[in-house]
Amino acid sequence: MPGPRAHQDEGAEPCDPDLTRMLRELPDPVVVIDATGDITWGNRTAERLFGRTLHDTLGVSGLDFVHPEDLHFVVLSLDSIQRKEVGAPIEIRLRTPFGWRLVELVGSPIPWFGNGCVLLSLRDLTERRRFELAYDQDARFRAVVQNAAVLTMLVAPDGTVMSCSGALTRMLGHDPELVEGKPLTYLVDSRDRPELLTALEQAARGAESATPVTVTVHLTHFGKPLSVPFELAIVNLVDDPTVGGFIVSGHDVADRKRLEEELSFQAFHDSLTGLGNRALFLNRLDHALERSARTGEQIAALFLDMDGLKDANDRLGHSAGDTLLQSMAGVLVGSIRKSDTAARLGGDEFAVIVEDFAHPGEVFALAERILDECRRPMVIGTEAVSATVSIGFSFSKPGISVDELMSNADRAMYTAKDRGKDRYEQFEEWMQSASEPV
């Protein structure tokens, strides 16, 4: 390997051969870069570190070996070196045939070698840092991780669990020694495994981003036939020589999921009857009409109005009215199929969506069942109360909207009221121009 060349300016002295030999045999890698960052010289240890001869390296930019996340830091450091005798040591990651290595780099300007040239001395810290992390050099930090309430795991690039914190046992009952060496999917409910794999793939693609990839999956509980929802945050440290994998942290979100489900239920359900509310009903009806447009199958919308609720409220009080409303909800739930939807729209108004019927007669039969059940008297206090219902319904047709379908069913219900209540009517076109009762 040729030694460092002397600057060609007049008066520059050639390098001492013994000094050149000593530089070549130093146990730490040493390289020289010019003002543009290209490598112009390196010793034998540098050749071993980079896995290539000096001849193959000359003219190659030294910045090409720097990890993308560390590149800006290195450029700033090299710029500041030109104004110092010796630069401050920095830790960076370099690409080698053996993967990313953590090195300490110290630079010194050597203008005698060439304008803007810098001598770089490197020391490989990878094994030492791994030793520090593995043994008692970092015992306090390891104790914190092991006893934290958050589950922490080191996962290899191929998805294998390399190590996990004590929270795995405390929270999910698994023995870490039996989990380590298995794929992370081993801990995940089979239904959620595709989502986890997608998250790991996304994290693998985001090696240059410090933003964690989050995913909510159900983790199995050892010895119990249940799984627990966990939000996992995946940080890609595959390129960090001291880690070489994904840091996966997770916390139990069962309480949060329950709260979200409760809030969602409250947002779309009537608190008194437990039926869906107007918002849920209109959303379901909109989707039902979309399916009907695709399949060509009809749906029916029923609009129901209780006949005697106001009288019961006036005579017996609002608690009696609430009892009748709850009774009406029970009638609907007991009369419809699982594929149908019943809702309380507000006040004494209810509605039903009927799908997947083979013949319109099934809708007529449903209306009859509801009428029959509502005619059964209820004992409230000391009085027998019968709260009948008036029903109007309309069938869908191509291009009909949610508002139009419900308006048609509403007109049919008013016709049932006009014709004596406690009956049903199907929408007909002449009802559209008929006046509605006040």
Q: Label residue 24 by pLDDT band (50, 70, 90).
A: confident
Q: How many CB atoms lie within 10 A of CB 67?
A: 20
**What would the DSSP string read from start to end of 3-38?**
PPPPP-STTPPPPPHHHHHHHHH-SS-EEEE-TTSB
Say which residues have a Cβ less than 8 Å from residue 76's Cβ, sequence separation at least 6. Answer: none
Order the strands of the 227-237 sheet from edge to edge: 161-164, 151-155, 245-252, 227-237, 213-220
Identify which has the larger pLDDT, 395 or 238. Answer: 395
Percentage of the chain surpassing pLDDT 90? Answer: 33
- The beta strand positions in 110-165, using DSSP E, are 118-124, 151-155, 161-164
Most distant pair of Cα atoms in the chain: their distance = 121
Please provide the CATH number assigned to the domain covering 132-257. 3.30.450.20
Q: What does the pLDDT read at residue 182?
A: 92
The single-letter DSSP state of residue 437 is P
CB 307 within 8 A of CB 347: no
Q: Give the lowest-confidence range in 12-16, 41-45, 144-148, 170-174.
A: 12-16
Range 219-228 average pLDDT: 86
Q: How many CB atoms lie within 10 A of CB 147?
A: 11
Look up 348 and say whether it is catalytic.
Answer: yes
Tens digits of residue pLDDT in 250-269 = 888 877 777 766 676 677 78
Of 380, 356, 362, give the one whose Cα is nearest residue 299: 356
User: Which residue reads 């050597």 in tokens?
Assistant: 110
Helices assigned H by DSSP within 336-401: 361-374
Tens digits of residue pLDDT in 380-413 = 766 777 778 999 999 999 999 999 999 999 999 9
Virtual torsion, Cα 271, 272, 274, 278, nearest 10 deg: -70
Range 348-372 average pLDDT: 93
CB 333 within 8 A of CB 349: no
Q: Which two tokens stand for residue 111?
A: 């203008």
Fold classification of 269-432 is Alpha-Beta Plaits (3.30.70)
Range 225-241 average pLDDT: 87
Range 288-303 average pLDDT: 92
Say if residue 27's pLDDT is above 80: yes
Domain ranges of the chain: 17-124, 132-257, 269-432
**Per annotation, catalytic residue among 70, 340, 348, 410:** 348
| Separation of alpha carbons 186 and 131, rounded Å | 29
Q: Label residue 15 by pLDDT band (50, 70, 90).
A: low
Q: Label residue 2 by pLDDT band (50, 70, 90).
A: very low
Q: Strand, helix or coil at 224?
A: coil
Q: What does the pLDDT read at residue 132?
A: 64
Order the strands of the 30-33 sheet from edge to edge: 39-42, 30-33, 118-124, 99-109, 90-96
Asked if the domains 17-124 and 269-432 are classified in one and the same CATH topology, the answer is no
**What would the DSSP string read from start to end of 270-303?**
-TTT-SB-HHHHHHHHHHHHHHHHHH----EEEE
Q: What does the pLDDT read at residue 309?
A: 77
Range 356-376 average pLDDT: 91
CATH class entry, domain 17-124: alpha beta
Q: What does the pLDDT read at residue 159?
A: 92
- In sequence order, the β-bridge partners of residue 306 are 389
Say which residues have a Cβ less than 8 Å from residue 314's Cβ, sequence separation at least 6. Answer: none
Identify which has the larger pLDDT, 378 or 42. Answer: 42
Identify which has the larger pLDDT, 320 or 64. Answer: 64
- The beta strand positions in 34-127, using DSSP E, are 39-42, 90-96, 99-109, 118-124
| Separation of alpha carbons 366 and 344, rounded Å | 17
Q: Give the lowest-confidence range in 14-23, 93-102, 187-196.
A: 14-23
Angle ∠(333,335,338) on CA atoms, nearest 5: 65
Tens digits of residue pLDDT in 88-120 = 788 888 888 888 888 888 889 988 888 889 999
Helices assigned H by DSSP within 180-317: 193-205, 254-268, 278-295, 309-316
| Separation of alpha carbons 227 and 225, rounded Å | 7
| Separation of alpha carbons 394 and 149, rounded Å | 57
Say which residues have a Cβ less than 8 Å from residue 45's Cβ, sequence separation at least 6. Answer: 26, 27, 28, 29, 30
